[in-house]
Amino acid sequence: MTAMEWNPIRSKDYPLYKQIADYMARRIAAGEFPAGSHLPSERTLAKELQVNRSTVVAAYEELYAAGIVEKRKGSGTIVSADIWGMPRKRLPNWRRYVEQGSFLPNLPLIRHIQKESKEADIIDFASGELSPDLFPLEQFRSILAQQTFDCHLGYEDPQGNLALRETIARHVKTDKGIEATPSSILITSGSQQALHLIVQCLLKPGDAVAIEDPSYTYSLPIFQSAGLKTFLLPVGRTGINPDDLTLLHQKHRIRMVFLNPTYQNPTGTAMPLEQRRKILALSAELGIPVIEDDPYTLLSFTGERLPTLKSLDRHGTVLYISSLTKIAASGLRIGWVIGPQPVIERLADAKQQIDFGHSIFPEWIAQRFLASPEFSAHLDRLVGELKQKRDLLVDSLERHLSGIVEFHVPAGGIHLWCKLLKETNDLQLLREAIRHGVVYVPGRVMGTQQGFVRFTFARAEKERIDAGIRRFAEAYRG
């Protein structure tokens, strides 16, 4: 059997490198490559099989981990002399361990976007972080300089620092109209950990959940890792249609629904009050818990703040998630869940098993910051700066892409959802845009829709926004 008589089959269920490793192992077993003989070079075999050299490298690593071949510097890959049973040290096949773990990795495209967004010369419309000039650094420096650290350094309360939870209870009452007590709050490492705890603790494999389409949660592998069945709720100009949730529940017995109703990621839409009331009525009628992910309510550009679902909740059906990530600093890693006390205690128990409770230092800073007059001043400045960035982005889109894109101007938040009117290959366009020096998130990462992009305007510097859209336009026009 020669390489030219066999070709790998491109299948997501049977990776190319594994096919090649199995194929070469068969050739070795058949005596085509005796003990001590050289295998074809990685470059030669890649050319024969018409695959990337990295694929052959991975295949040879499989054979090496299995003890079938040896690597000799300057000599290439050689069939092991003791392949027929002589004692030999064998390495663990770490690649197989990595691929077989139950907790799934991020999508390769997500990892690629994250890597590219860190390049210094790239204009970043992909990251959900604030730009460094929007962090409240001076306020944090003032807290550290003027206040004495007076907390113990042992393990924290499983629900989080009591003083911080008391401050958050006052904050959500004042700024969002949510009634909460410290015992109904759990401090988490941002919203991401809150979602992970909810999925792991309150659901079981096979449960059906509903998520928005498009949505940030669509890109998360946590649902698949937990063995959940996800069903999609289309997001229109005013968010999801409550009737769609009713139909989904009738067909699939939905156990939980995940919503981001205010300045939704990625569409920027804000669900009207009446629609929110209908969602809550359905939740109470059907017994479906609603997970409200709310990072953006305080980032309103009109001065009007829509009521959160939690503030309207009269039946205790809403678990509320928020954080300081989008309104202060992502690196602080302070988020929270508000819900019924038995649920909070269950989530706190799981968090305690994972990390023995939150770190006291960021909790201490967050508590002082939220309780200070500087928090409101920072928020006012932040909203003003983000509104300027949004306006610059809209102006640039109209200047450089008029007639070939459509978009809805968000009234708050940090995302703008853009429809591409010119037919294009999403992945090819992203590659070309990166080559031009700009990165963003293709719509397909966030849901089933093709021909959309998400421009996030929080991270890019104001003076580079127009250049970023011009670069995108050059890539898009070809």
Q: Which helix (H) or strand (E) holds 52?
A: none
Q: Looking at the domain assignment, is residue 67 inside a domain?
A: yes
User: CA-CA distance, 107 to 439, in Å (whole number)?
Assistant: 16
pLDDT > 60? residue 329: yes
Q: What is the pTM of this model?
A: 0.82
Report the SS3 class of residue 454. Answer: strand
Q: Which domain holds residue 117?
A: 108-132+377-477
331 and 190 share one domain: yes
Q: Domain holding 157: CATH number? A: 3.40.640.10
Residue 457 pLDDT class (50, 70, 90 cuts): very high
Q: Looking at the domain assignment, is residue 139 inside a domain?
A: no
329 forms beta bridges with: none
Considering its fold, how many domains does the chain have in total? 3
Report the SS3 class of residue 319. Answer: strand
Q: Which residue has the tokens 């694929």?
A: 55
Last residue of a domain, one of 317, 343, 373: 373
Q: What is the pLDDT of residue 114?
A: 82
326 and 351 share one domain: yes
In this prediction, what percent of the chain has a pLDDT beyond 90?
67
pLDDT > 60? residue 89: no
Max CA distance (Å), the chain: 78
Per-residue pLDDT of 36-47, as tens digits, reads: 889 999 999 998
279 and 228 share one domain: yes
For residues 124-136, give the mean pLDDT: 93
Please state which of the ranges 72-81, 134-143, 162-171, 209-218 shows the lowest mean pLDDT. Answer: 72-81
Per-residue pLDDT of 267-307, as tens digits, reads: 999 999 999 999 999 999 999 999 999 999 999 999 999 99
Q: Is 5 exposed, middle or buried (0-12, 13-18, 19+ CB in 10 A)?
A: exposed
Last residue of a domain, one of 373, 390, 406: 373
403 and 270 share one domain: no
Residue 205 pLDDT class (50, 70, 90 cuts): very high
Q: Looking at the domain assignment, is residue 366 inside a domain?
A: yes
21 and 39 share one domain: yes
264 and 180 share one domain: yes
364 and 394 share one domain: no
CA distances from 453 to 35, 118, 267, 433, 458 (A): 54, 19, 10, 12, 16
**Which residues are CB-contacts of 42 (< 8 A; sequence separation ≥ 6)?**
53, 56, 57, 60, 77
Q: Looking at the domain assignment, is residue 138 inside a domain?
A: no
Q: What is the pLDDT of residue 50?
A: 87
For residues 55-75, give the mean pLDDT: 86
Q: Domain holding 30: CATH number? A: 1.10.10.10
197 and 282 share one domain: yes
pLDDT > 60? residue 84: no
In this prediction, what percent of the chain has a pLDDT beyond 70?
96
Q: Which helix (H) or strand (E) holds 233?
A: strand 229-236
User: CA-CA distance, 263 to 327, in Å (whole number)?
Assistant: 14
User: CA-CA distance, 240 to 275, in Å (whole number)?
Assistant: 8
Q: Looking at the domain assignment, is residue 140 inside a domain?
A: no
Any idea what DSSP says for residue 69? E
Pairing of strands 415-420, 76-79: unpaired
CB 237 within 8 A of CB 452: no
Residue 12 pLDDT class (50, 70, 90 cuts): low
Q: What is the pLDDT of residue 358?
A: 86
Q: Looking at the domain assignment, is residue 141 inside a domain?
A: no
419 forms beta bridges with: 406, 452
Residue 3 pLDDT class (50, 70, 90 cuts): very low
CB 407 within 8 A of CB 454: no
Q: What is the pLDDT of residue 91?
A: 59
Last residue of a domain, one of 344, 373, 402: 373
Q: Looking at the domain assignment, is residue 7 inside a domain?
A: yes
Q: What is the pLDDT of residue 85?
A: 54
188 and 57 share one domain: no
Q: Which helix (H) or strand (E) holds 205?
A: none
Q: Domain holding 384: CATH number? A: 3.90.1150.10
Q: Looking at the domain assignment, is residue 142 inside a domain?
A: no
**At CB < 8 A and 24+ separation, what contacts does 332-335 make?**
332/362, 332/365, 332/366, 333/189, 333/190, 333/359, 333/362, 334/164, 334/187, 334/190, 334/362, 334/363, 334/366, 335/187, 335/188, 335/189, 335/190, 335/191, 335/192, 335/193, 335/194
Q: Which two tokens stand for residue 21?
A: 């490793």
Exposure class string for 45-78: b at 16+ Cβ within 10 A, else e: bbeebebeeebbebbbbbbbbbebbbeeeeebbb
357 and 234 share one domain: yes
Q: What is the pLDDT of residue 88?
A: 52
pLDDT > 50? residue 1: no
User: CA-CA distance, 405 to 422, in Å (whole number)?
Assistant: 8
What does pLDDT average to over the chain? 90
96 and 172 share one domain: no
Q: What is the pLDDT of residue 152?
A: 77
331 and 405 share one domain: no
